[in-house]
């Protein structure tokens, strides 16, 4: 059985780490490189950096931030935000990223997934899906940092992303983001049951059991969290020890 991964996420705006609730009310939480070094030493399995306003403001990801983080990091780094072409993917990989996360551009130009997978390998391409629950059931895909409802169904888009060459899905529940009420494991389970590539759960972690539920109920291959780790409310080493007691194989 593949071991499960614990992944801190740095949401970055204008070069600073920020965190909000349901993608709003952002608060500055420090320097990306300082956080990255801490997580590297703390035992994180990977690190994700998302330039959360890059697509909305029509900016490219901050390459200098990625370079500063890569200098202190010895675990895999995934970077997302403002990626619109295969050349953008190449530039981020050169800057020090191991993988890139595609969200808005992948929806608007799905062939970017195929182009990236063909040029750089499926292992380099992560498709991020921001999901919000519909009143009538199911979940819609949002883009532009949660600002635009595409009307696309989350399950169908995850399937298409896999078919086009995505190596992994980063699934964020907008309803749970920053609430500390737990991952939306129902949405998570619906996606993991429909595709065969790994899925990272994101949005809503607030206590130890929430991480266990993402794995045991949702079928996640990895869990991602931000504020719990940034505020040092929870230590990654303690989380891994807890998951081991629950029978979840961790690295």
Catalytic residue among 45, 88, 130, 221: 130
Annotated active-site residue 238? The verdict is no
Residue from 11, 88, 115, 177 carrying the catalytic annotation:
11
Contacts of 170 (CB under 8 A, 6+ apart): 48, 78, 80, 101, 126, 127, 128, 129, 199, 200, 202, 224
130 noted as active-site residue? yes
Residues paired with residue 99 on neighbouring β-strands, in sequence order: 78
How far apart, in Å, are the Cα atoms of 224 and each of 11, 83, 88, 218?
12, 21, 24, 13
CB atoms within 10 A of CB 67: 14
> Rounded distance, CA 115 to CA 17, Å?
30
Active site residues: 11, 130
């Amino acid at each position: 059985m593949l071991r499960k991964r614990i992944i801190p996420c740095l949401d970055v705006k204008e070069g600073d780490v920020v965190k909000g609730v349901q993608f709003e009310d952002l608060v500055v939480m420090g320097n990306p490189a300082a956080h990255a070094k801490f997580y590297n030493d703390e035992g994180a399995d990977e690190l994700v950096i998302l330039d959360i306003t890059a697509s909305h403001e029509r900016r490219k990801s901050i390459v200098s931030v990625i370079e500063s983080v890569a200098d202190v990091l010895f675990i895999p780094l995934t970077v997302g935000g403002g990626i619109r072409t295969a050349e953008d993917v190449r530039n981020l990989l050169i800057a020090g990223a191991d993988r890139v996360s595609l969200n808005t551009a992948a929806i608007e130009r799905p062939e970017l997934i195929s182009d990236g997978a063909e040029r750089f390998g499926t292992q380099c391409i992560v498709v991020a899906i921001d999901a919000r629950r519909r009143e009538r059931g199911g979940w819609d895909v949002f883009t532009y940092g949660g600002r635009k409802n595409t009307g696309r169904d989350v399950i169908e888009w995850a399937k298409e992303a896999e078919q086009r060459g995505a190596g992994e899905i980063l699934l964020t529940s907008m309803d749970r983001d920053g609430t500390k009420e737990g991952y939306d494991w129902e949405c998570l389970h619906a996606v993991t049951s429909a595709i065969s590539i790994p899925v990272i759960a994101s949005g809503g972690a607030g206590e130890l059991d929430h991480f266990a539920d993402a794995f045991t109920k949702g079928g996640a291959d990895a869990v991602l969290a931000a504020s719990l780790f940034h505020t040092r409310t929870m230590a990654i080493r303690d989380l891994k020890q807890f998951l081991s007691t629950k029978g979840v194989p961790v690295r």
